[in-house]
Amino acid sequence: MGLDRPQAWLLGLPTAAVYGSLALFTTILHNVFLLYYVDTFVSVYKINKMAFWVGETVFLLWNSLNDPLFGWLSDRQFLSSQHRSGVGLSSRAVVLARVRALGWHGPLLALSFLAFWVPWAPAGLQFLLCLCLYDGFLTLVDLHHHALLADLALSAHDRTHLNFYCSLFSAAGSLSVFASYAFWNKEDFSSFRAFCVTLAVSSGLGFLGATQLLRQRVEVARRDPGCSGLAVDCGPCGEELLVGSEETDSITLGQYLRQLARHRNFLWFVSMDLVQVFHCHFNSNFFPLFLEHLLSDHISLSTGSILLGLSYVAPHLNNLYFLSLCRRWGVYAVVRGLFLLKLGLSLLMLLAGPDHLSLLCLFIASNRVFTEGTCKLLTLVVTDLVDEDLVLNHRKQAASALLFGMVALVTKPGQTFAPLLGTWLLCFYTEKQRPKASSEKRRE
């Protein structure tokens, strides 16, 4: 009987908490990956410049294409609106399929993360293979995790509840950034390697445990007669929405793209989201440089390290407050308010100039927090687009992962152009400052 109590306690966990925990097992790996993979290959493995740029170029192409590719492979069976027979998949079976996919791809993501920190091939080849493998499994995990947000809950309130737990666990996962500073050492890499092994094992086991719990929640919901609807408190249940395995008018990729081209809200959204993704990655890529060039004379090195770590945690914590506002005012009102707030602070900073230190600190911090918060809230907007696509095209089942993949296809270039444009602006600014500095020296 003693063995049943922990199992009963785990089964008593809310579905939202189990779903949100998947974000923890991704975040503890991904933040460490973002901070250290370049430094590891450049400073520890001594990769040559040509191999590095070849790897980054191939990674750029793969990163742009794998979202719609995996989304299409996952959801193409859901696109037909006509069915020859009633034999097919239920909405519950779709959820179970996504959970099973997470149960496989999560541990493989952890394994591919581990491959970065152990030299097993020539540096250039290892760099290319590790990047593509890691990004492939990360895309699969993200697509199915985001798709479950639309599949597990139908109401905006329930989806906000799920997203709240994702932000809570993501904030906890960001603490791995602080812990990594204690182990990072280019000269003696063994301690950092052991730290990464610990993260990978924890993440892999976490994915296995969380997906097993989610599967059990779905099975419990199937036997619960009092459960009606797709609610996060009782799990996926309710009507069996059949997705036929035999289709009379199977939709091709070209037909699906033409349907998206007629989806006006989708087109407006991806245009706006492209700008937001650019802004979000511009902030994250150049936040250390902002600290170094704008505040280095006023803060110590240790304070800068703490601020850098907080910049990864604060957006997730602040997003918990934004999500509470979403429950009260709605997602669209909160996103519109954040846009207006960012615009107001930018105009104020432009008029005040860079000499006001307190205002500059407030602007740098708030700009990163509000932009990250906006990007995370936009996931809820995509779930509404999934519902709209379901109704407009008379689908029997929402193609959640595919629509998330198509959004990523259009917005991923923002990740690429952010460092390119940012680097160009820095070069332009520094070149512009050199004549001023030399003329001042001549005067002296």
pLDDT for 96-116, tens place per residue? 888 999 999 999 999 999 999
The angle subtended at Cα 63 by Cα 380 and Cα 58, nearest 5°, is 170
Q: Which pair of tokens denotes residue 212?
A: 């097993």
Predicted pLDDT of residue 399 = 80
User: What element of type H or E holds 244?
Assistant: strand 243-244
Give the residue-averaged pLDDT of 26-41. 86
Candidate from 238-242, 318-322, 324-328, 428-432 with smallest mean pLDDT: 238-242
Name the residue with higher pLDDT: 135 or 312: 135
Residue 134 has pLDDT above 90, yes or no: yes
Q: Which pLDDT belongs to residue 24?
A: 93
Mean pLDDT value across residues 9-21: 72
Q: Is the dihedral of CA 119, 123, 124, 127 positive or negative?
A: positive
- Predicted confidence at residue 3, as pLDDT, reads 45
Longest dimension (CA), the chain: 88
Higher pLDDT, 412 or 137: 137
> What pLDDT sits at residue 304?
63
The confidence score (pLDDT) of residue 243 equals 41
Instruction: Indicate the DSSP class of residue 235.
Output: B
Q: What is the pLDDT of residue 200?
A: 94
Could you read off the pLDDT of 246-291 as tens digits, one per residue?
A: 444 567 778 888 888 889 999 999 999 998 988 888 877 676 666 6
Of 17-21, 102-106, 198-202, 219-223, give the lowest mean pLDDT range: 219-223
Mean pLDDT of the chain: 78
> Who wins on pLDDT, 220 or 128?
128
The pLDDT of 6-21, averaged and rounded, is 67
Range in 75-79, 365-369, 404-408 the model is least confident about: 75-79
Give the residue-averaged pLDDT of 64-84. 74
Nearest in space to 406 (alpha carbons), one of 60, 59, 66, 61: 66
In this prediction, residue 240 has a pLDDT band, given cuts at 50, 70 and 90, of very low
Task: List the beta bridge partners of residue 243.
Answer: 89
Residue 355 has a pLDDT of 76
Q: What confidence category does residue 72 fall into, taking pLDDT thresholds of 50, 70 and 90?
A: confident
* Token pair recorded at residue 274: 């492209």
Structural domains present in the chain: 14-221+253-431 (1.20.1250.20)
Q: What pLDDT was estimated at residue 238?
A: 43
The DSSP element (H or E) to which 418 belongs, if any, is helix 413-443
pLDDT digit string, tens, across residues 329-364: 888 899 999 999 989 988 998 888 777 777 877 787
The residue ranking higher by pLDDT, 209 or 376, is 209
pLDDT of residue 401: 84
Q: What is the pLDDT of residues 357-392, one digit of tens each?
A: 778 777 877 888 888 888 888 888 988 898 888 888
Listed range (61-75, 141-155, 229-243, 396-410) with the worst mean pLDDT: 229-243
Sign of CA dihedral 294, 297, 299, 300: positive
Stretch 51-56: mean pLDDT, rounded? Answer: 84
* 268 class by beta-carbon count within 10 Å (0-12 exposed, 13-18 middle, 19+ buried): exposed
